[in-house]
Amino acid sequence: MSVRITDIREVTKPIASPIRNAYIDFSKMTCSLVAVVTDVVRDGKPVVGYGFNSNGRYGQGGLIRERFRDRVLDAPPGTLLDDEGTNLDPDRVWNAMMANEKPGGHGERSVAVGTIDMAIWDATAKIANKPLFRLLAEREDRTANPRVFVYAAGGYYYPGKDTDLLRAEMRSYLDRGYSVVKMKIGGASLDEDQKRIEAVLHEIDGEAQLAVDANGRFDLETAIAYAKMLRNYPLFWYEEAGDPLDYQLQAALAEFYPGPMATGENLFSHQDARNLLRHGGMRPDRDWLQFDPALAYGLCEFQRTLAVLTTHGWSAARCIPHGGHQMALNIAAGLGLGGNESYPDLFQPYGGFPDGVRVEAGRVTLPDFPGIGFEGKENLYREMAALSA
């Protein structure tokens, strides 16, 4: 059986919405959708892997089309295959993409590579005719656990949104089976945010837990002022207080915040993750790591990040990736992460679960689709199929 990548296609799609966090609005947000076409034929059709990047970093069509696509297509096909020559080897494809790239300064090439990497893993699992989460578990000699914790991320700022609407939003997440909800902070004054938090805590009234996300907005003084307010509430976590690369701020914050902290969605390499663990004061017994493989060079790199965690005494179970995509759901189910983010009302059709999958007691159960499972989500698959037609 020959296995050859015959084409890589990219289209940049809008995922705009009127929401705002403490740092950006999403009025012009886009993402890249990628199709990796192979010459493997299943049911009379070529196997195609799909990928997209998650919200927050915009589409990367320029980098994908001008650099990374051609490196894969120009590589001698045999150099991209596993030892048996019967399937793609995602790590070898990754190495081909990263030829002639200097280390450091990861910028947004990590998003371009992460998007293609997702499609490569989707194709690889489809060629193996297995769900990606089962393929990953087998590769690591583990048992997959298709039941994955997910939390509902939302609670954004948008025009006219008062605490009643915020409460109604959070109530709707509880009604849909979530046991942890997340809201934005840092886009209003501390006093106003405190009122918003108290309103939500009143609404969820012990039925669920609340996490808060400052999106890297605070300087040290403000981060500590918020910590002193937030530590009076039983929060699930206090996320991304300061600049993602300011490890000293994160470490200083730990002195003032005994509850769980979370960060990492804007760290895009295993080297940056390592610096966070070395210097960020993060505590492996309670804190959470949110590295998002779709933004951070993909699963090939995420595996190196997991190795860094192990070296530093962390468990993969402390990872709950940012992004709300099925790729991270598969990694969670296959490699034992602590769960995954989900945006019940945002960034559609890219985020979410296969049709018919319901959240029950804060968990979803992944069905057994070959690959990542995109074919099980009709509105998403329609966009994907249009790209590979």
Ligand X SMILES: O=C([O-])CC(=O)C(=O)O
What six digits make up the tokens of 347? 């960034």
CA-wise closest residue to 213 among 294, 153, 279 = 153
Say which entry of Mg ion, ligand X, none residue 153 contacts (CB below 5 to 8 A, set by partner kind).
ligand X
Omega before residue 349 within 30° of 0, cis: yes
| Binding residues among 207-266 for Mg ion as defined by CB under 5 A | 213
Q: Smaller CB distance to Mg ion: residue 213 or 246?
A: 213
| Binding residues among 203-262 for ligand X as defined by CB under 6 A | 213, 215
Q: How far apart are CA 237 and CA 234, in angstroms?
A: 9
Write down the residue that tokens 């210097």 correspond to.
279
Give min distance, CB of 330 to ligand X, in A. 19
Give min distance, CB of 35 to ligand X, in A. 26
Q: Smaller CB distance to Mg ion: residue 249 or 384?
A: 249
CA-wise closest residue to 291 among 238, 331, 251 = 331
Q: Smaller CB distance to Mg ion: residue 146 or 323?
A: 323
Q: How far apart are CA 43 and CA 126, in angstroms?
A: 12
| Binding residues among 131-160 for ligand X as defined by CB under 6 A | 153
What six digits make up the tokens of 194? 């405190």
Count of residues near ligand X by CB under 6 A: 8
Q: Determine the length of the chain.
A: 389
Say which entry of ligand X, Mg ion, none residue 287 contacts (CB below 5 to 8 A, set by partner kind).
none
Q: For residues 315 and 309, is the Cβ–Cβ distance under 8 A?
A: yes
Q: Smaller CB distance to Mg ion: residue 61 or 323?
A: 323
Say which entry of ligand X, Mg ion, none residue 56 contacts (CB below 5 to 8 A, set by partner kind).
ligand X
Q: For residues 212 and 239, is the Cβ–Cβ distance under 8 A?
A: yes
Q: For residues 269 and 106, is the Cβ–Cβ distance under 8 A?
A: yes
184 is annotated as an active-site residue: yes
CA-wise closest residue to 256 among 226, 290, 283, 298 = 226
Q: Smaller CB distance to ligand X: residue 48 or 295?
A: 295
Q: Is 193 an interacting residue with respect to ligand X (CB under 6 A)?
A: no
Alpha carbon distance, N-terminus to C-terminus of the chain = 23
Compute the 3-state secondary structure of the chain and give helix, strand, coil in percent, each to the nearest 5.
40, 20, 40
Q: Smaller CB distance to ligand X: residue 97 or 210?
A: 210
Q: For residues 130 and 373, is the Cβ–Cβ distance under 8 A?
A: no
Radius of gyration of the chain (CA): 20
**Which residue from 322, 335, 366, 377 is in contact with ligand X, where contact means CB under 6 A?**
322
Q: Is 296 helix (H, G, I), strand (E, B) or coil?
A: coil
Helices assigned H by DSSP within the chain: 61-63, 69-74, 90-97, 109-127, 132-139, 163-175, 190-204, 220-230, 247-254, 270-279, 298-311, 326-335, 378-388
Identified catalytic residue from 184, 270, 325, 377: 184
Which residues face 289 on adjacent strands?
263, 319
Give min distance, CB of 124 to ligand X, in A. 27
Identified catalytic residue from 182, 270, 322, 377: 322
Say which entry of Mg ion, ligand X, none residue 10 contacts (CB below 5 to 8 A, set by partner kind).
none
Give min distance, CB of 139 to ligand X, in A. 28
Q: Is 341 an interacting residue with respect to ligand X (CB under 6 A)?
A: yes
Q: How far apart are CA 254 and CA 337, in angstroms?
A: 23
Binding mask 174-213 for Mg ion (x = CB under 5 A): ---------------------------------------x
Binding mask 258-297 for ligand X (x = CB under 6 A): -------x--------------------------------
228 is annotated as an active-site residue: no
What six digits make up the tokens of 213? 């996300």
| Binding residues among 81-140 for ligand X as defined by CB under 6 A | none
Give min distance, CB of 68 to ligand X, in A. 24
Give min distance, CB of 182 to ligand X, in A. 7
Q: Is 21 an interacting residue with respect to ligand X (CB under 6 A)?
A: yes
Q: Smaller CB distance to ligand X: residue 151 or 302?
A: 151
Residue ranges in contact with Mg ion by CB under 5 A: 213
Residues marked active site are found at 184, 322
Which residues sit at the interface with ligand X, rule CB under 6 A?
A: 21, 56, 153, 213, 215, 265, 322, 341
